[in-house]
């Protein structure tokens, strides 16, 4: 019903705008100048009122009807479900197959299914206005990257390629402090070239920066987001604002704040 | 039943700017290998066709590009991008001294998920002696570059008599440089390494001590660590390693890998000189299932015939046996040189020799390969 009302209002808006434009084209300059006044204001005003009411009707309905063919979104229940699916996917972002279970195809399929569920849930949250579209895109891209990475890591126990398994891209804070001290020792003893020391120092600083953001966001799982999102980005540039925003959004989801 | 390996190893070029003492490249041996002088290579379009065909026919999900030195190939980044766009995981094995920072960044950006670079020692002189060049400063810098570019860096230690005392410091250095993992391989004889066996090959006792030091360092730095080149449990008691994982030979098997050389020839392993056939002329499955491939898979040293774990251990590295004795069924040098001690232990009924147990951290895959 709401859809029908919206459609009628939009049609009426278009009709009023069309009438106004046709009249404007057909009248002479003299007539136009005479017409300036109440008639013009009434026409424009009516068009604006109809447009506002029509658009308002559509957007109001989108919360219950959905857009772009998505299933209807019931604000409370569906947002909670979607949030829960996003949370679950991120909590399992580092899941590995049981080393004794050699069914890699099954593990790959499970990873892909989890990713698909996550992406659909993020889309639902974006449509519902809970997440910004840019944040949604960052979350989807980052988990996709982590999933592919997990797929890449799992089970490669061949003579050479087993090395790809495991290893956190961003180390723990304590490990970084230790690495920093060891780097200072290596620099002092000239075991590493100055250029290498400089680069290694920058890299450790960058990882500490990521951990700081994760700490501020209140959930260490945000480090995973950082790993994926910041991959391939130069270490000498500041962490982008959109990432900080996405980190905060993910932390809210992981903490359950979005459920309330 | 078709052979569906997990990955392919592609030797994009036979050219290399180094001449490492331990190099296993089959063309470094004077065996008349077809692309021995590195002058014969496929053009980029042919490489694309070759890899597309190989991936389609083998069904792999991963391709690792190696060489020679892959960064000497002008279109390496383009090939990486081509593979990545096919949805494949792409790995890279390089020496760190060819291609500058930007090329490494481009390679990672194009899709190289993991890059393996040797870090042979924390001591510049040892690393440079083993590589017979001035590789240390560049290799250490590239490890950082890979990580900084967003890739996963794997520091590779080839354990020899020259660097085994320094392994703990080397792993610490790898951690400082941001390496995501360490691959620690015992020196595997083949290629150029055949000329340096006496100066490089450690004894089982020396290897055990070095691996224990490596394990302690990996624990200290929370570093994932893998020993890929097979270590025979009758020579080194693998049960004492809790963190380190050991590989066994998966050559040309289900869940294992096959190697494609710079001319499109398929081999069971990058250490093996056996050519199964050329992929431009034959279907991958036909080659992977042919008589030579089946013989390679079945090969075990006669010495191991009454060992309970022969099917898992396979006597170690059969490619090394082949490179040194001409036959994959032979004994590789690490076993041949130490078989007397194994025999002695067997006579004493020492556990871990005859009827040795494959420990949990040994990646036993024979039940899968048998299929």
> A202 and B148 in contact by Cβ < 8 A?
yes
pLDDT at A12: 55
> B226 and A163 in contact by Cβ < 8 A?
yes
pLDDT surpassing 70 at residue A167: no
CB A229 within 8 A of CB A142: yes
B147 and chain A: CB distance < 8 Å anywhere? yes
Distance from CA of B224 to the nearest CA of A (A): 6
Determine what percent of chain B is predicted with pLDDT higher than 70.
93
> B257 and A161 in contact by Cβ < 8 A?
yes
pLDDT surpassing 80 at residue A77: no
Q: Which residue of B has its CA nearest to A148?
A: B89
Determine what percent of chain A is predicted with pLDDT higher than 70.
53
Exposed, middle or buried: residue B318 (CB in 10 Å: 0-12, 13-18, 19+)? Answer: buried
Read off the DSSP letter of residue A24.
Answer: H
At A156, the pLDDT band (50, 70, 90 cuts) reads very low
ipTM, 2 dp: 0.89
Please tell me the distance from the alpha carbon of residue A125 to that of residue A136, in angstroms, as a whole number.
8
- Chain B residues with CB inside 8 Å of A159's CB? 228-230, 247-251, 256-257, 269
Q: Which of B95, B5, B255 is nearest to A102 (CA)?
A: B255
Distance from CA of A248 to the nearest CA of B (A): 22
Spatial strand order of the sheet with B257-260 comes to B245-246, B225-227, B181-186, B152-159, B112-118, B89-93, B62-66, B7-11, B257-260, B265-267, B277-278
Higher pLDDT, B176 or B111: B176
Q: Which residue of A has its CA nearest to B269?
A: A159
CB B297 within 8 A of CB B319: no
- Chain B residues with CB inside 8 Å of A155's CB? 6, 255
Q: Where are the alpha helices (DSSP H) in chain A?
A: 2-26, 29-35, 38-65, 75-91, 104-127, 133-153, 173-188, 194-217, 222-230, 241-255
Q: Under CATH, to which class is B7-246 assigned?
A: alpha beta
> A160 and B226 in contact by Cβ < 8 A?
no
pLDDT at A164: 44
Identify which of B140, B154, B177 has the shortest CB distance to residue A163. Answer: B154
The model's pLDDT over B2-49, given as tens digits with 9 standing for 90+, comes to 888 888 999 999 999 999 999 999 999 877 888 766 667 899 999 999
pLDDT surpassing 90 at residue B78: yes
The model's pLDDT over B334-357, given as tens digits with 9 standing for 90+, comes to 999 999 988 888 777 764 444 344
> A200 and B93 in contact by Cβ < 8 A?
no
Distance from CA of B353 to the nearest CA of A (A): 22
Mean local confidence (pLDDT), A165-184: 76
Identify which of A157, A186, A232 has the shortest CB distance to residue B247. Answer: A157
Identify which of B89, B147, B172 has the shortest CB distance to residue A152. Answer: B89
pLDDT surpassing 50 at residue B328: yes
Say if strands B245-246 and B225-227 run parallel, antiparallel, or are unpaired.
parallel
pLDDT at B370: 28
Read off the DSSP letter of residue A94.
Answer: T
Rg for chain B (alpha carbons), in Å?
Answer: 19
At A103, the pLDDT band (50, 70, 90 cuts) reads low
CA dihedral angle for residue A218, residue A221, residue A227, residue A230, rounded to 10 degrees:
-40
The model's pLDDT over B178-194, given as tens digits with 9 standing for 90+, comes to 998 899 999 999 999 99
> A182 and B363 in contact by Cβ < 8 A?
no
Q: What is the pTM of this model?
A: 0.77
Tokens at A137, concatenated: 């895109």
* DSSP E strands, B105-241: 112-118, 152-159, 181-186, 225-227
Identify which of B113, B140, B221 has the shortest CB distance to residue A152. Answer: B113
pLDDT at B317: 93
Count A/B contacts: CB-CB distance under 8 Å: 154
Distance from CA of A157 to the nearest CA of B (A): 6
pLDDT at A79: 85
- How far is residue B329 CA from its own chain's centroid? 19
> A175 and B175 in contact by Cβ < 8 A?
yes
Read off the DSSP letter of residue A156.
Answer: -
SS3 content of chain B, % helix, strand, coil (to 5): 40, 15, 45
B153 and chain A: CB distance < 8 Å anywhere? no
Mean pLDDT over each residue of chain A, to the nearest integer: 70
- How many other β-carbons are positioned within 10 Å of the β-carbon of residue A23? 15
- Chain A residues with CB inside 8 Å of B104's CB? none
Determine what percent of chain A is predicted with pLDDT higher than 90.
22
The model's pLDDT over A13-71, given as tens digits with 9 standing for 90+, comes to 555 555 554 454 444 444 545 545 555 554 445 544 444 444 333 333 333 333 333 44
DSSP bridge pairs for B66: B11
Min mean pLDDT across A66-80, A128-142, B65-79, B145-159 is at A66-80
B149 and chain A: CB distance < 8 Å anywhere? yes
Mean pLDDT over each residue of chain B, to the nearest integer: 89
């Amino acid at each position: 019903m709401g859809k029908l009302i919206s459609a009628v209002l939009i049609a009426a808006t278009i009709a009023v705008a069309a009438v106004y434009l046709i009249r404007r084209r057909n009248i002479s300059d003299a007539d136009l100048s005479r017409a300036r006044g109440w008639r013009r204001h009434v026409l424009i005003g009516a068009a604006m009122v109809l447009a506002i009411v029509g658009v308002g009707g559509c957007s109001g309905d989108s919360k219950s009807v959905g857009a772009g063919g998505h299933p209807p979104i019931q604000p409370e229940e569906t947002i909670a479900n979607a949030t829960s699916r996003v949370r679950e996917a991120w909590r399992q972002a580092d899941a590995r197959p049981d080393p004794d279970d050699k069914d890699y195809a099954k593990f790959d399929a499970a990873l892909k299914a989890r990713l698909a569920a996550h992406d659909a849930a993020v889309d639902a949250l974006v449509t519902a206005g809970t997440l910004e579209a840019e944040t949604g895109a960052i979350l989807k891209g980052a988990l996709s990257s982590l999933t592919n990475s997990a797929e890449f890591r799992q089970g490669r126990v061949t003579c050479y390629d087993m090395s790809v398994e495991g290893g956190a891209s961003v180390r723990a804070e304590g490990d970084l402090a230790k690495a920093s001290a060891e780097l200072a020792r290596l620099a002092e003893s000239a075991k590493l070239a100055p250029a290498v020391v400089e680069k290694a120092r920058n890299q450790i600083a960058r990882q500490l920066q990521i951990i700081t953001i994760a700490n501020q966001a209140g959930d260490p799982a945000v480090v995973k987001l950082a790993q994926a999102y910041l991959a391939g980005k130069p270490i000498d540039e500041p962490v982008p604002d959109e990432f900080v925003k996405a980190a905060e959004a993910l932390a809210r989801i992981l903490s359950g704040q979005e459920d309330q | 039943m078709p052979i569906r390996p997990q990955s392919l190893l592609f030797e994009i070029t036979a050219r290399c700017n180094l001449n490492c003492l331990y190099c296993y490249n089959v063309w470094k041996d004077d065996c008349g290998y077809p692309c021995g002088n590195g002058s014969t290579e496929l053009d980029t379009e042919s490489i694309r066709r070759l890899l597309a065909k190989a991936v389609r026919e083998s069904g792999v999900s991963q391709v690792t590009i190696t060489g020679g030195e892959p960064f000497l190939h002008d279109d390496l980044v383009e090939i990486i991008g081509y593979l990545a766009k096919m949805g494949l995981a792409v790995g890279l094995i390089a020496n760190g001294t060819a291609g500058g920072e930007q090329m490494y960044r481009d390679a990672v950006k194009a899709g190289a998920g993991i890059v393996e670079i040797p870090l042979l020692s924390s001591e510049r002189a040892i690393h440079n002696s083993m590589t017979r060049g001035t590789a240390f400063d560049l290799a250490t810098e590239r490890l950082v570059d890979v990580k900084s570019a967003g890739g996963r860096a794997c520091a590779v230690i080839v354990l020899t008599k020259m660097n085994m005392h320094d392994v703990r410091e080397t792993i610490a250095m790898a951690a400082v440089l941001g390496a995501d993992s360490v691959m620690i391989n015992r020196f595997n004889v083949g290629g150029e390494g055949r000329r340096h066996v006496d100066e490089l090959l450690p004894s089982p006792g020396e290897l055990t001590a070095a691996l224990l030091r490596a394990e302690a360092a990996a624990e200290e730095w929370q570093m994932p660590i893998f020993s890929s080149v097979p270590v025979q449990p009758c020579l080194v008691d693998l049960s004492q390693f809790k963190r380190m994982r050991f590989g066994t030979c998966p050559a040309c098997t289900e869940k294992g890998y096959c190697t494609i050389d710079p001319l499109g020839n398929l081999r069971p392993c990058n250490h093996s000189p056996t050519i199964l056939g050329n992929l431009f002329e034959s279907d991958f499955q036909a080659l992977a299932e042919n008589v030579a491939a089946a013989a390679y898979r079945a090969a075990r040293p006669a010495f191991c015939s009454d060992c309970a774990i022969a099917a898992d251990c396979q006597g170690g590295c059969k490619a090394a046996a082949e490179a040194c004795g001409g036959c994959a069924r032979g004994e590789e040098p690490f076993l041949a040189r130490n078989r007397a001690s194994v025999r002695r232990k067997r006579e004493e009924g020492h556990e871990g020799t005859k009827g040795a147990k494959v420990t949990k951290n040994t990646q036993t895959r024979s039940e899968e390969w048998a299929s």
